[in-house]
Structure 1
Amino acid sequence: MAMRLLRGVLGLLKWGLCAVGAVALIFTALIAMPLERPAEMRSVADSAKGIDWSTLPPLERFQARDGTWLGFRHYAPKGADTGRGAIFIHGSSGSSGTVNHALTAAMAAHGVATWALDTRGHGASGTRGDIGYVGQLEDDLVDFVAHVRKSAPDLPLTLIGHSAGGGFSLRVAATPIMQDMFVRTVLVAPYLGYDAPTNKPHSGGWANADMPRFLALTALRKLGIDCCAQLPVLAFAVPPNSERILVPTYSDRLTRNFATHGYRLDLAAVTHPMTIFGGAEDEMMISDKYAEAVQAIKPSVDVKLIEGVNHMGMVTVPKAVNAIAEDVATRGAGQS
C-alpha cells in the first residue's frame, strides 16, 4: 500500500516537473532571440515626397475612459459640404500626421468632415508601440466617436482604415456595439490578418515577427498564464532615426488588437456596406486576391483595384486619393 502511494506521489512529481520544464522552455523562447528590425523599405520612405504638409491641421486631444489623452486631427469640409463625415485609422507604425494626410485632406476637399485618429500606441496617444490590454483600441474608438458626437451629433460617419488600420476597421465593423456608430466601412489596401490569402511573406519586407516569442506567449495564455504581453513581437522597416514620427515595434497585445480576429470570422459578422480599395501594384499585399477572398464570405463587399498604384500610393497618389475621397463623399450616407 505504501509503495503504491509512493509511486503515485512520484508520478505526480514527475508530471509536475515536466510542466515546470515546459514553462521554462516557453520563457526561454521569449527571451532567446531579440526582435530584429527589417531593413528600411524605400517605397514607404519615398511616399512622403511631394505631400503638401502646409494643410496639416493642428493636433488636438480628447480624454479616453482610462484618463489618457489621445491625439487626433480634424479636417473641416471645404467647398460644398456633403453632410457626411469620416473617421480615418492609419496603418502600422503611422499616425494622423504621417503620409495618409494626403488622403484625409482630399476627403475634406470633397466636402467630408474628417477626423484622423492617433490610435493608442502611435503618434501622440499613449505609450509608443504598446497598449494596456487587448480590446483597448475598441474602447478608445467608442470614446472618440462620443467626442465627435459632441460637435456632430447626427452626422453619418464612415469608418475608413488603411493597411493594418484597414484590418482593425474590419474588426470594428464586425463588433455589434460599433456597427451602429458607422453607416459604412471603407478598407484601403487592408491587411486582412495572418490567415488571409492576400498576404505576402513579411508583408513584402515591411514587417518582421518574432515567431518564437509570439508562439510562446500564445502557449502561456493557453496554460492560463497571461503575462509578458508588453514584450515586442513585431518590427517594421521604418527609416533609421525615425522614432520621433514612426513606431518601430509593436508589443504582443498591440499586435493582436490592431488587426482582425481573422478575416473570415469578422466578414461574416459585418452587417453594413463595405468597400475595399486595393492598389494593383501593391508590394505588401496580393491585391488581386481581395475579391476572391472576401466575396466568398460576403458577396456584397465591393472591391475596387486602382491600376499603377502601390501600397502607400493608395493614401498619397492623386489618382488613388481622389477616387477614394469621391467614393466616401458620394456614398457616405450608407449607400452600398
Structure 2
Amino acid sequence: MAMAACLVWGGPKPLPPLRSIGDPFKDVRFDGMPALQTFTARDGTPLAYRRYDPAGQGNGRGSVMLVHGSSGNSNSVHPLAQSFLEAGYTVYAFDIRGHGQSGVKGQVGYIGQLDDDLEDFVGAAQPARPRTLLGFSSGGGFALRVAGSPRGAQFDNFLFMAPYIHYKAMTNRSGASAAWASVGLARLVSLVLLNRVGVPTFNDLPVLNFAVAENPKADLVRQYSYALAVSFQPPDGYRAAIRSIARPAEVMAGADDELFFADQYRPLLDEAGRPDIPVTVVPATGHISLTLSPAGRAAAVAAVQRMDAPFELAWAACPVPWRSTAPGAAHTCFCVPPPARSST
C-alpha cells in the first residue's frame, strides 16, 4: 500500500520558471536554421534532426553531432551549430526522442532507447569522420553515457559541455539544480525498487518537472518520465563510465555556471582516474551562455579542432588514392594501397 501511494501521489511538484535558463534565449536569432529532417528508428518512429552543410566543402572537416540539454530541442543549439558550420564542419542537431518533434514529449519506450536511437542515426546517416558527439548539460551526461559504453566506438571524439554527472557528484549545486528540476522523490525511489526486481510497468510515470515558462513557440518539455530521466544521463556508476572512455574527450564549463560547480570537474575526473581528459573553464560565462556566447562557442570549436588534429595529420600524410573512412578508421590513416596491376 505504501508503495502504491508513492506511485500515485509521490510525483514531482510544479516549479516557477527559472529566468537564468530561459532569459538568455530572448536575444537569440534563429534565422538560417535548416528545416527538420527525420530518420526512422528501429521501432519505426520518425525522429527529427537538423543538418547543417558547409557550402561547397562536401563533408567539410568532419561532423559534429549536437545533443541539447534537458527540456530543450534542436533549436536551442542553433547558435553553436552555426559556429561549427562556419568552421567547416557538417553539423547534426537532434530533437532527442521525447523532445521537440521526436516521439511523445517526455517519454521513451524503455530505458536505454536513446542509445539505440543514436546508433540507428549513425547507421542511417553515416556522418563524415572524424565524428564528434557533443552534449550540453543533460545532453553532456548522455554523451558521457555513450562514451563510456561499447557504443562509444561509433565516434572519434567527445565534448561534454557543462555536463550533468550525477545528483551526488561534486559538480552538482544541489540548491540550484532543485530550482531547475523538481524531483518526485517518493515515486522515484519506488520505481528504482520496482526496476531492481524486474518490474518496468510504471516507467512512464513522470518523476521530473522543469522550471520552464509557458511558451508554445519554444516547444519545451515540462516533464520527464522515469524511463526518459534514467536514459538521458550517465549511469549511477559514472566513475566507471568515465574510466571506460576510449576516445579523445574534453570537458567545458562556464566559470559562472548557475547549476554546476565549474571548478569541480577537474577533481571529479582525477578522482575517476582520468587526469588526461582536459577541462576548459570559460571566464564570465554561465550555464546557458556557454552555448550562446561567442567565447563559449569559440572554445567549443577549438576543443573539437584539438581532438581532430591527430586524425587530420594522419589523413594529410596518406596518399589520396589510398584514403578510406571505413568504420574503425578513427584517428588512423586508413591507407589502402590499390591492387597491383597485372603485368600482362
Among 69, 75, 83, which residue is 2:61 paired with?
Answer: 83
Distance in 1 between residues matched to 2:100 and 2:68, nearest whole Å:
10
Aligned equivalent of 2:103: 126
Following superposition, the deviation at residue 83 of structure 1 comes to 2.0
Is the Cα–Cα contact under 8 Å of residues 287 and 305 in structure 1 kept in the other structure?
yes
What does the per-residue CA deviation read over 1:38-62, in whole Å, with 9 as the maximum and x for residues that have no partner? 2101111111132221111111111
Unaligned ranges ≥5, structure 1: 1-23
5 Å-filtered alignment, 1:167-206, equals: 167-176=141-150, 178-201=151-174, 203=177, 205-206=179-180
What does the per-residue CA deviation read over 1:202-245, in whole Å, with 9 as the maximum and x for residues that have no partner? 51611111000000111222344322100000011101244861
Aligned equivalent of 2:298: 322
SS in structure 2 at match of 1:127: coil
What does the per-residue CA deviation read over 1:177-205, in whole Å, with 9 as the maximum and x for residues that have no partner? x2221111000000012231100115161
What does the per-residue CA deviation read over 1:100-131, in whole Å, with 9 as the maximum and x for residues that have no partner? 21111111111111101111000111010000
The one-letter amino acid of 1:132's match is G
Count of equivalent residues: 308
The one-letter amino acid of 2:241's match is D
Which stretch shifts more, 325-334 or 263-272?
325-334
Distance in 2 between residues matched to 1:33 and 1:86, nearest whole Å:
40
SS in structure 2 at match of 1:47: helix
What does the per-residue CA deviation read over 1:76-110, in whole Å, with 9 as the maximum and x for residues that have no partner? 12587752211111100001122x21111111111
SS in structure 2 at match of 1:300: coil
Following superposition, the deviation at residue 30 of structure 1 comes to 1.0
CA separation of 1:200 and 1:242: change in aligned 2, threshold 3 A: farther
Aligned equivalent of 1:10: none
Does 1:227 pair with 2:205? no
Following superposition, the deviation at residue 155 of structure 1 comes to 2.2
5 Å-filtered alignment, 1:1-336, equals: 24-78=1-55, 82-98=60-76, 100-149=77-126, 152=127, 154-176=128-150, 178-201=151-174, 203=177, 205-242=179-216, 245-262=219-236, 263-297=238-272, 298-332=274-308
Following superposition, the deviation at residue 34 of structure 1 comes to 4.2
Distance in 2 between residues matched to 1:56 and 1:244, nearest whole Å:
14
Question: Bigger relative contact order, structure 1 or 2, given CA contacts below 8 A and separation 6+?
Answer: 1
Is the Cα–Cα contact under 8 Å of residues 11 and 185 in structure 2 kept in the other structure?
no
Give the superposed CA RMSD.
1.9
Which stretch shifts more, 64-73 or 194-203?
194-203
Is the Cα–Cα contact under 8 Å of residues 139 and 163 in structure 2 kept in the other structure?
yes
Distance in 2 between residues matched to 1:220 and 1:334, nearest whole Å:
47
SS in structure 2 at match of 1:332: helix
SS in structure 2 at match of 1:275: strand
The one-letter amino acid of 2:28's match is I
SS in structure 1 at match of 2:27: coil
TM-score normalised by L of structure 2: 0.85
TM-score normalised by L of structure 1: 0.87
The percentage of aligned residue pairs carrying the same residue is 34
Is the Cα–Cα contact under 8 Å of residues 250 and 277 in structure 2 kept in the other structure?
yes
Is the Cα–Cα contact under 8 Å of residues 79 and 110 in structure 1 kept in the other structure?
no
Distance in 1 between residues matched to 2:170 and 2:155, nearest whole Å:
27
Following superposition, the deviation at residue 326 of structure 1 comes to 2.8
SS in structure 2 at match of 1:27: helix
